Amino acid sequence: MQQTMKTVKPPSRRASGYLPSLDGWRAIAILGVLMTHDLPWSIGGYSTAAFRGYGGYGVYLFFAISGILICTRILEEESLIGRFHLKSFYIRRVLRIQPASLVYLAVIALLMLAGIVHESWHYWRGALLFYANFLYRASDSSGTAAFTGHFWTLSVEEHFYILLSLLLFFFRRHRIRVFASLILLTWIAQIVAHRYGIYSYDISSRRTQWVILYLLTPALLALLLRIPNIRSLAVRFLSPWVAYLTTLALMSADRLRVPHPGVKFWSFDMLGMQGNYLFFGFSLWIIATTLHPKSLSTRFLELPPVRFVGRLSYSLYLWHILFFIPVYAGVRITSAPLLFLSERPWKYIASFAAATLSYYFIEKPFIRLGHRLAPPATPGHKDLAVDTAHRENAGAEPIRVAN
């Protein structure tokens, strides 16, 4: 049979590429972070002190979301337009992350110059240039990085974007093997580092090489889901409740297991961190809810108020520190208005107000600009969509298929 070539428009398998449940997961993640950074409080005789330590897991939930979402978007772009545009990816990422973070850092710099915030310029520069995670010290309680310390997670994510994009760009074949090998090598390196004292919880726990597993593993799962048979099995068997119960079972088994005396480096707790099974389980939770849009969990995540908080999550993450941290000892804040806003309920009101302003006046305009300069294969949320005609004119070449 004679083969002819014809040009077709990219298929529209999903109208926008927007997954509402991911906004729901972002909402849960940021509320966990807020709970961790808030002082304990009680309501109806019940205190949040017992749960406060678990709120920090919200950071690793953000990592799981990023690993799955960014990898999936890149793979969808390849599928829809035939290739992955590295330059366009960086344009969209820079305009998604940098503007809001630069405005926050500019405000912190002004407060430092005014003598209201006593922050070290050393840590401020680390936040600006995204190497704050290499400056972290768990034992540092002086408050020198109080208002920029949370940039450690943004630093890790920026490093992950670069690594992921380069891996997917240069390795067109055997990607699953490449990712699995990198994850295995990273895991082995962590075991060796912990075994021989190279790793230190005090100064190393947030460095990219020790945290990247929690982004690479979700990315690998996103790659595996592109295989039809694996995706079919996941749809059939990986319901949200199966994902939750599997994670709880693994965590319980790990706590009940008694390792051989002196052997501390072969379980997921090898870095002295508790709950690592939960960190990996987040990826299963996210995948399960996206694959089962009619489940009770997914419907909760897609409630409009929950999704709204999720869309504010990045700005909330940036700005809440300014209002949550001043009450802590060692921060040395003497500004009466800032101390007033750090009390309840004003800290929550101020954080959501600042985040709302940041989202609508900084985030959205620059995300839309990024979409205009480098149109994505799918537009995302309807609030961020750009003109369709412009997208088709500025997009990549159409796919050519054999008939």
pLDDT in tens, the chain (403 residues): 444 444 444 444 444 567 899 999 999 999 999 988 888 877 777 777 777 777 778 999 999 999 999 999 999 999 988 889 999 999 999 999 999 999 999 999 999 999 998 888 999 999 999 999 999 887 675 556 889 999 999 999 999 999 999 999 999 889 999 999 999 999 888 888 888 888 887 788 899 998 999 999 999 999 999 999 999 999 999 999 999 998 888 777 655 444 444 444 334 444 444 446 777 889 999 999 999 999 999 999 999 999 999 999 999 999 999 999 887 766 778 788 998 999 989 999 999 999 999 999 999 999 999 999 999 887 666 666 665 444 444 444 333 333 3
Nearest to 37 by CA among 283, 301, 275, 319: 319
- H or E element that contains 329: none
How much is the pLDDT for 328?
79
Phi-psi region of 368 (alpha: psi -120 to 50; beta: other; left: phi over 0): alpha
Q: Decide if 65 contacts 217 (C-beta within 8 A).
A: no
Nearest to 78 by CA among 19, 23, 11, 21: 11
How much is the pLDDT for 386?
61
How much is the pLDDT for 350?
97
Amino acid occupying residue 388: T
How much is the pLDDT for 381?
65
How much is the pLDDT for 261?
44
How much is the pLDDT for 370?
95
How much is the pLDDT for 41?
77
How much is the pLDDT for 384?
65
How much is the pLDDT for 12?
42
Average pLDDT, the chain: 84
Nearest to 320 by CA among 25, 23, 38, 28: 38
Nearest to 171 by CA among 78, 68, 88: 78
Q: Where are the domains of the chain?
A: 5-402
Give every CB contact of residue 258 below 8 A, 6+ residues apart in sequence. none
As a whole number of angstroms, the distance between CA 32 and CA 26 comes to: 10
How much is the pLDDT for 401?
31
How much is the pLDDT for 377?
80
As a whole number of angstroms, the distance between CA 127 and CA 123 comes to: 6
How much is the pLDDT for 67?
96
Tokens of 346: 């004003």
